[in-house]
């Protein structure tokens, strides 16, 4: 237990130092990048240790896993993210559990979230997941449908659209990964014309293997799992 805590503390320190170094390299402030710890493979004891070490944002891929873990959190006020694909029959629980749903990728899902949030008098913060890589196995709204999605979201009183999320392609080609992140940032900037319940604050892109490229291309939120929670 003691050695695991030391390893976790060291992993967090290394990731934070690296984020700071990347930001300085490109003239950004590290405080502009939110570190989200992806806890899907970690038990709640480890998650609580990470939170005690200052991790303020945690993410789960599945609603059921979150339901089992979140009731055991020692600091319930930690910000909770859903980053996995959300099915419509899980929306009610997701709205009850998560502060930010990052994986909204259809108008029907958007409407269901708005309905379920309204039922508990909540304004649900969401990110629009955009499919830029165009890989068959990935979820996300096509680029060409983003504006219609935002126009629709403006009429929903229990939705707060806070930005975009995207995933890089599964490739070793860094130029291709960078191009996906760059395009996401362009779309993010284009959507700044919206106001009201649409505020482009978060650009969630970058995971353990590619977060350096993501930060260089403007990411404001990185989703890190294995680099933090590895043994």
What pLDDT score was predicted for residue 137?
74
35 forms bridges with which residues in the sheet? 222
Q: How much is the pTM?
A: 0.96
What pLDDT score was predicted for residue 5?
82
What pLDDT score was predicted for residue 40?
92
Q: DSSP code of 220? A: S
- State residue 113 phi and psi, 5-degree precision: -65, -45
pLDDT in tens, the chain (231 residues): 666 788 999 999 999 999 999 999 999 999 999 999 999 999 999 999 999 999 999 999 999 999 999 999 998 889 999 999 999 999 999 999 999 999 999 999 999 999 999 999 999 999 999 999 887 778 999 999 999 999 999 999 999 999 999 999 989 999 999 999 999 999 999 999 999 999 999 999 999 999 999 999 999 999 999 999 976
Please state, in angstroms and as integers, the Cα–Cα distance from residue 159 to each residue in 60, 95, 111, 171, following that order. Answer: 21, 11, 9, 34
Q: Helix, strand, coil: what percent of the chain each, to 5?
A: 45, 20, 35
Closest C-alpha to 91, from 71, 117, 128: 117
Displacement of CA 150 from its chain's centroid (Å): 18
Rounded (5°) CA angle 204-220-162? 60
Q: What is the CATH number of domain 2-229?
A: 3.20.20.10
């Amino acid at each position: 237990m003691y050695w695991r805590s030391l390893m976790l503390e060291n992993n967090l320190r290394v990731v934070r130092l690296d984020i700071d170094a990347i930001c300085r390299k490109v003239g950004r402030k590290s405080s502009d990048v939110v570190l989200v710890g992806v806890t899907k493979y970690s038990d709640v004891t480890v998650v609580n240790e990470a939170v005690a070490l200052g991790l303020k944002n945690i993410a789960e891929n599945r609603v059921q896993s979150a339901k089992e873990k979140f009731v055991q959190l020692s600091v319930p006020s930690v910000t909770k993210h859903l980053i996995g694909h959300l099915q419509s029959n899980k929306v009610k629980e997701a709205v009850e559990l998560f502060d930010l749903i990052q994986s909204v990728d259809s108008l029907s899902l958007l409407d269901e979230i708005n309905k379920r949030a309204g039922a508990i008098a909540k304004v649900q913060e969401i990110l629009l997941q955009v499919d830029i890589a165009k890989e068959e196995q990935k979820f996300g709204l096509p680029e060409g449908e983003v504006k219609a999605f935002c126009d629709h979201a403006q009429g929903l009183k229990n939705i707060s659209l806070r930005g975009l999320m995207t995933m890089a392609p599964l490739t070793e080609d860094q130029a291709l990964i960078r191009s996906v992140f760059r395009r996401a940032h362009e779309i993010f900037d284009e959507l700044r014309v919206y106001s009201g319940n649409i505020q482009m604050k978060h650009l969630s892109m970058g995971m353990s293997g590619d977060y350096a490229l993501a930060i260089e291309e403007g990411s404001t939120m990185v989703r890190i799992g294995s680099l933090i929670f590895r043994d």
